Chains A and B, each alone.
Chain A
């Protein structure tokens, strides 16, 4: 085959590929990786039912915020809510979509799921490097009946920027002023001790391989891999186990009605059954969308997900929003998202 004919074939093939310029999806979204599994499952079911496709790119909360501000996607998704003044400055409307929890897990010989109890201050001290062994007095005080070995603690953290990091560090910052000053809360922080692992899988793998390790993973993952989760002492001084019920308790105890722009971080909420490291994942759309039709389609999808997506969410161990909150959000849509004076979603 001569070079000329090879080139001719290549050009022809490229032309064939280029003629397929079909717009497959009308709704585009980008952002957080935390809710990606449930968003993609909903999108799949929605497409089967209605024929409208939704292309969600899980590039991270930061990427989602960037994209929506650049007006290149219909909606952005972020695990870290934007503050009200930032929302106003960008002309964005924010609302919660789904709730999940971050669960500390441990790998200590002789300790199974739900046996170890910790509280926020102790957890922060561990990740600051102040508590170095498992038989430290602070841990023994919380677990008087447990036989704790003298193993060194190996803290494992998420090396990639993620919403899970944000929730975890936010909780620890609330519980420990030292943690707040030295490390702070963000999707990516500078950890003084321990090792970083990539993704939930990497972290869980590292935690299960290292004797004496402690880590934090999305609830879905801890459950599916049967990891030894930790009980946490919440704001009501009760030790709670992570579960869909305790996440929902945290969400429902939260005061959404007074949250400007739904800016509410669900860590450390009041309530006897509330899980302390709960978090909502948020959606960002424009108050005056540049493409009202697309935004309208997106809102239709979200309404459908609120109504029909609860079982799918439960299957993947996410927690749907409480019904009262859904009503509040849909009311916000009607009043805040408008085009030419009329609401985009009816």
Chain B
């Protein structure tokens, strides 16, 4: 492009262009600031709704397990515990599985199988979460109750230490069931992102490693994964965000008990499940406010997770730059 042959705009056109620029720039800026306003609005509206409960119970709200609508004493401990534990177990199950699936799809899969399996994984992501809940209740939980849980209680429940995790009668529903259903739910999201990100790794990097004699696994672990770690972390965070906030899949199978138990086979509750179950029937301002306060807590937890993810990504990037 020859800079010398610059296009000359006539003055009246220029004025119109400038006005157009102001309008357009203003519009985009407004829309962008709207995102901030939206978050601010959500935060303010939630805190306003939660204020009666938070000011009444103060810090005890976070540390007490009691949830009694009759005496109007509420504490979020059971809900927080359930949310964190189910999400943690779900991620512990889903991340390795997703990793395996994306490795299969990118490295091992023959070309004719790639499309169908890829579509199959996406199909799982398209299923509405309420289906997971219903399927979990009517199909998965009975299987767990009749075959899996008795085995766990008999063989793992008797071991010292981790035995405490597998106590109690086999109900079929409970924290473990909810965690597994969650894991199946977030699996396709993480797997899709990992697969997409693995595919963006330039072939030349892979070929170089193979040329040096690396096995397939070593290429994946030492070349592909480090290259795509930002995307992988992003995918995991996406899955974690979904797991923390998931309502429908969990509500049907969590057992809905506002109790903290050491056993994974016991019923529990999560923040979303409590809100969904009880909000429309809640009578009394303190009860409603306590449920909204649970929402505030969930929002804070999600916020903390995303911030931690970003920090971790920044540290990874800095380390990579430093090692260059």
Direct touching of A and B (C-beta under 8 Å): yes
Note all chain A residues with C-beta closer than 8 A to B255. Answer: 159, 195-197
Known contacts A195-B255, A198-B256, A205-B137; is-contact A60 B281 (Cβ 8 Å): yes
Which positions 6-62 of chain A face chain B at CB distance < 8 Å?
A: 59-62
Interface size class of B (residues with CB under 8 A): 20 to 34
Would B280 and A195 count as touching, CB distance under 8 A?
A: no
Docked CA distance A190–B256 (Å): 11
B283 touching A65 by the CB < 8 A rule? yes
Q: Are B67 and A190 in contact (CB under 8 A)?
A: yes
Known: A189-B69, A195-B257. A209 touches B172 (CB 8 A): yes
CB atoms of A160 and B171 under 8 A apart: no
Question: Taking the complex as formed, is B169 at the interface, i.e. its CB lies under 8 A from any CB of chain A?
Answer: yes
Asked if B256 and A196 sit within 8 Å, CB to CB, the answer is yes
User: When the two chains form their complex, are residues B282 and A62 in contact, meaning their CB atoms are under 8 A apart?
Assistant: yes
Chain B residues in 8 Å Cβ range of A184 = 68, 70-71
A161 to B70, CA, bound (A): 12
Asked if A142 is at the interface (CB within 8 A of a chain B CB), the reply is no
B174 contacts A190, CB within 8 Å?
no
A152 touches B (CB below 8 Å): yes
A183 located at the interface, meaning its Cβ lies under 8 Å from any Cβ of chain B in the complex:
yes
A159-B256 contact, Cβ under 8 Å, with A62-B280, A62-B281, A62-B282: yes
| Measured CA separation A341–B123 after assembly (Å) | 64
Cα–Cα, bound, A42→B180 (Å): 42
Asked if A231 is an interface residue, CB under 8 A from chain B, the answer is no
Contact check, A191 vs B257: say whether CB atoms are below 8 A apart.
yes
- Interface assignment of A114: CB less than 8 Å from any CB of chain B: no
B277 interface residue per 8 A CB criterion:
yes
> Is B295 engaged at the interface, CB distance under 8 Å to the other chain?
no
Cβ-based interface call for A112 (8 A): no
Q: Is the CB of A188 within 8 A of B278?
A: yes
CB closest residue in chain B, given A208: B142
Contacts of B172 in A (CB 8 A): 206, 209-210
Tell me if B258 is interfacial: C-beta within 8 Å of chain A: yes
A28 to B66, CA, bound (A): 37
**Please, which residues of chain A bring their CB within 8 A of the CB of B239?**
none
Question: Knowing A187-B283, A209-B172 touch, does A198 contact B70 (C-beta < 8 A)?
Answer: no
CB–CB B280/A59 < 8 A = yes
A66, B287: Cα distance in complex, Å? 13
How many Å lie between the Cα of A256 and that of B39 in the bound state? 53
By Cβ-Cβ distance, the 7 closest A-B pairs, closest first, are A159-B256, A161-B281, A196-B256, A60-B281, A184-B70, A62-B283, A190-B68
